[in-house]
Amino acid sequence: MTSSAKKTSFPQNVDRLLVWSLRGIAVIVGTIVLFIIGFLILESLPVFRKVGVLPFLRDTSWNPMQGVYSLTPMLISTLLVVAGAVLLAAPIGILSALFCHYYAPKPVANLYRRLLEIMSGIPGVVYGFWGLVVLVPLINRLHPPGTSLLTGILLLALLITPTIALIADASLAGVPQEYLQGAVALSLSRWGTIREIVLPAARSGLFTSIILGTGRAIGETIIVLMVCGNIVQIPSSVFEPIRTLPANIALEMDFALGDHRSALFVSGLLLMGVNLVLVLLAEAIAQEEIYHN
């Protein structure tokens, strides 16, 4: 994919108008997240003023009603469940997209796409409910209590696979026909074509799909609330219950006053920090790819 160095050449004046209005729109969109961060900081200030920042990392446990505010176990749990879900969902999603384009006959591929589209609209509460009623008892038979890190990983993966698959599918559709025709001319095998031509060409789209899938997994509140057990601890096995930061906010926010409420906003702020780190990391990887292309 080439990109022109000078993208702002204008044959006509209407284009100048277009660009400036588009820039305005982009500014509005770009500042939404700043508003949200500002809001979180505002609401976190009361407890920061009272106990500072360190207790959130160094306290022994999370008992906000008694002034103990450690967020570390929940942070680690969140990262674990998201990592597990993405590691599971990314290959499945991308393979599904490959399936639709290169392996399935047209009607089957379309049917599969419709299926994925419906899955992408199913609320977390449905997966959570099903998980609580069907999956948890199953896992409980393997190893009590059933509500665990594993259940969370499985259901979150189920939630984000359609997102990854559909975006990957669309980016595969963007691979130019000429590339594929060239591959046939070189008599490459299907695997060879996919590995050497298609995946690199659709690389940035596939990457985007994984980023958006990860974001969705980090932000999902209801599924983890219902099936992960909500025990604040660092799990020593996948069968142990965990509590993630979003689930914690959902669980306690309705009943929290004063400092407790502020502390919950601090956990929200922490999540934004994690997001920022992940986004910068992803950007760094993407830059490498683009420049080495």
Partner 1 sequence: MSRQNIPPSQNNPSGVPRSPATTKSDLIARSQKIAYADILLSLLVWAVAISVTAVFVWISVDIVWHGAGHLSWEFLTKEPEEAGRQGGIASILVSTGLLLSVCLGVAVPLGLGTAILLAEFTVLNNWFGRLVRRSLDMLASVPSIVFGLFGNAFFCVTLGLGFSILSGGLTLACMVLPLLIRSVEEGLRSVPHEYRLGAASLGLSRSTTLVNLLLPAAFPSLAAGLILGIGRAIAETAALMYTSGYVERMPESLLDSGRTLSLHIYSLSMNVSGGDSSAYASVVVLMILLLVTNGAAIWIGEHWLHSRIQN
Partner 2 sequence: MTPRITLHFAMGIALCLLSPSCAQQPKAGLKQQKLIITGASTIAPLVSELGKRFEKQHPGTRIDVHTGGSARGLTDARQGLADIGMVSEALTEEEQKGMQVFLIGRDGISIIVHADNPLDKIVSKQVVAVYTGKTKNWKDLGGKDAPITLVHKAEGRSTLTLFLHYFGIDNKAVKADVVVGDDQQGIKTVAGNPNTIGYVSIGSTEQSIQQGVKVKLLTLDGVKATSAAVADNSFPWQRSLNLVTKGQPTELTKQFIDFVQAQENYDIFRKENFVPAKR
Query: Segment 119-138, which members bind partner 2 (CB under 8 A)?
Result: 129, 132-133, 136-137
What is the torsional sign of CA 8, 13, 14, 18? positive
Q: Tell me how far apart the alpha carbons of residues 89 and 165 are, in angstroms, rounded to a whole number.
A: 9
> Could you tell me which of 265, 267, 283 has the C-alpha nearest to residue 56?
267
CB atoms within 10 A of CB 267: 24
What is the torsional sign of CA 267, 273, 275, 278? negative
Position 41 contacts partner 1 (CB under 8 A): no
- Min CB(236)–partner 1 separation in Å: 26
Q: With CB cut-offs between 5 and 8 Å by kind, which of partner 1, partner 2, none does residue 268 bind?
A: partner 1
Q: Collect all residues with Cβ–Cβ distance below 8 Å to 193 and sequence separation of at least 6.
A: 180, 183, 184
Position 77 contacts partner 2 (CB under 8 A): no
Site string for partner 1, 261-290 (x = CB under 8 A): -------x--xx--xx-xxx-xx---x--x
Binding test (CB under 8 A) with partner 2, winner from 175, 197, 231, 278: 231
Q: Collect all residues with Cβ–Cβ distance below 8 Å to 202 and sequence separation of at least 6.
A: 168, 171, 172, 174, 175
Partners of 69 in the β-ladder = 62
* Interface positions, 1-40, toward partner 2 (CB under 8 A): none
- Min CB(253)–partner 1 separation in Å: 7
Q: What are phi and psi of 28, to 5 degrees?
A: -60, -50
Position 245 contacts partner 1 (CB under 8 A): yes
Position 140 contacts partner 2 (CB under 8 A): yes
Give the interface size with partner 1 as a residue count (CB under 8 A): 110
Helix (H) or strand (E) holding 32: helix 13-51
Strands (E), the chain: 62-63, 68-69
Position 225 contacts partner 2 (CB under 8 A): yes
Position 64 contacts partner 1 (CB under 8 A): no
- Min CB(229)–partner 2 separation in Å: 5
Position 129 contacts partner 1 (CB under 8 A): yes
Q: With CB cut-offs between 5 and 8 Å by kind, which of partner 1, partner 2, none does residue 126 bind?
A: partner 1
Q: With CB cut-offs between 5 and 8 Å by kind, which of partner 1, partner 2, none does residue 36 bind?
A: partner 1
User: Cα 275 vs. chain centroid, distance in angstroms?
Assistant: 9
* Interface positions, 245-264, toward partner 2 (CB under 8 A): 250-257, 260-261
Partners of 63 in the β-ladder = 68
| Residue ranges in contact with partner 2 by CB under 8 A | 61, 63-66, 129, 132-133, 136-137, 140, 144-147, 225-226, 229-231, 241, 243, 250-257, 260-261
